[in-house]
A and B are shown apart, each in its own frame.
Chain A
Amino acid sequence: NAGVMQNPRHLVRRRGQEARLRCSPMKGHSHVYWYRQLPEEGLKFMVYLQKENIIDESGMPKERFSAEFPKEGPSILRIQQVVRGDSAAYFCASSPRPGFGVGSEASYEQYFGPGTRLTVT
């Protein structure tokens, strides 16, 4: 069973360009989460999506950032008109169920992808 896939692993963009980051969840997972890790910091939640729906985007910057998880295909995190401050590692996680449930069921676990490192020059 393949893990969470993210591509590209490394992405370089000039200021003002668009960045598109892709995340393919694990097979059977319909819940996707995006996190951002700025240099020397912990991960910060950005957005939670289910198929065709954004459930929680409380961590998403209000401008230039958008996310989607279509019925078919990977989840996409899109950053328009990138700036140097967008340089970070972007991690995607997937789970088969929402939230963390009650108890210790492994089925509520979030499984992380390897991340995409975005560098804005």
Chain B
Amino acid sequence: AQKVTQAQTEISVVEKEDVTLDCVYETRDTTYYLFWYKQPPSGELVFLIRRNSFDEQNEISGRYSWNFQKSTSSFNFTITASQVVDSAVYFCALSDLGNNLFFGTGTRLTVIP
């Protein structure tokens, strides 16, 4: 069965600090997809990244970067030079080749000005 664990329930950082959000997953499938979503205070879900299990190359997009390590079943998300607008709940999710996403319980990030 698929499972996603986000052990950090809440994190607070001061603006301009770097912060890493952890995500550990479990699956028996060899082909799967990993995602990160952002849920700002307004409540909608904003897609950030999608990664397939065959591509372990780390990705950087502006201040965001992702570290995918199959050996430790982790897909961590780092925000560099955090800003107040980064304050949100961040969800990691997993899918096999099926039809639905399995979400972690989320990490609430608060960036203090």
Contact = CB atoms under 8 A, between A and B. Distances in A.
Interface string A36-51: 0000111111001000
Contacts of A89: 43
B97 A114 contact: no
Interface stretch (B45-53, B66-74, B77-85): B45-53
Contact of A43 (B52, B97, B101): B101
Contacts of B43: 89, 114-115, 117
A112 interface: yes
A45 B105 contact: no
Contacts of A12: none
Interface in A16-46: 31, 33, 35, 40-45
Interface string B76-109: 0000000000000001010111111111111000
A110 B55 contact: no
Size bracket, chain B contacts: 20 to 34
A98 interface: yes
Q: What bracket does the count of chain A residues touching chain B fall in?
A: 20 to 34
A103 B100 CA distance: 17
B103 A109 contact: no
B44 A55 contact: no
22 contacts: A33-B99, A40-B105, A42-B93, A42-B103, A42-B104, A42-B105, A43-B91, A43-B93, A44-B103, A45-B100, A45-B101, A55-B99, A56-B100, A100-B95, A104-B50, A104-B55, A109-B47, A109-B50, A112-B44, A112-B45, A114-B44, A117-B43
Interface of B: 4, 31, 33, 37, 43-45, 47, 50, 52, 55, 91, 93, 95-106
Interface of A: 31, 33, 35, 40-45, 48, 55-56, 59, 89, 91, 98-104, 109-115, 117
